């Protein structure tokens, strides 16, 4: 049983049930790259694939995907936040705080990133109440 089977994506994907999340993971697992690099959704594809890896506990793969999404779109606050979360879940709290700080810098209204940043700062012994 492969990692796709755990997500219920072991069969063929048809248009009716293809979400960006399921389609990206399903095709990437088979070595198929759907978007071209000049496609503006290419960063989104890496981000969605990172979400799929994180969902099944493959944090290193998630980190790789989120990092690539950030390279392609440095203003993608959600990718920084998810990268920080992936580091946090691995116990890499200083790395998590750094990425979460970047997410908040890009989007100061990102409550998700602010919450995880607070937790990461607590874990590193830093001041969790530092101004964002």
Q: Write down the pTM of the prediction.
A: 0.69
Alpha-carbon distance of 93 to 85, in angstroms, equals: 9
Per-residue pLDDT tens digits for 35-71: 555 565 689 989 999 999 999 999 999 999 999 999 9
pLDDT at residue 91 is higher than 60: yes
Give residue 66's region: left, alpha or beta (phi > 0; psi -120 to 50): alpha
Per-residue pLDDT tens digits for 27-37: 555 555 555 55
Per-residue pLDDT tens digits for 17-30: 444 555 555 555 55
Alpha-carbon distance of 90 to 109, in angstroms, equals: 25
């Amino acid at each position: 049983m492969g990692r796709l089977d755990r997500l219920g994506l072991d069969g063929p994907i048809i248009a009716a049930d293809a979400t960006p999340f399921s389609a990206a993971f399903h095709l990437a697992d088979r070595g198929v790259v759907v978007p071209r690099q000049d496609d503006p959704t290419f960063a989104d594809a890496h981000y969605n694939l990172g979400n799929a890896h994180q969902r099944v506990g493959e944090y290193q793969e998630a980190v790789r995907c989120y990092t690539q999404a950030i390279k392609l779109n440095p203003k993608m606050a959600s990718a920084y936040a998810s990268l920080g979360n992936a580091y946090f879940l691995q116990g890499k709290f200083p790395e998590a705080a750094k990425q979460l700080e970047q997410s908040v810098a890009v989007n100061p209204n990102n409550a998700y990133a602010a919450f995880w940043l607070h937790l990461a700062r607590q874990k590193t012994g830093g001041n969790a109440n530092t101004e964002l």
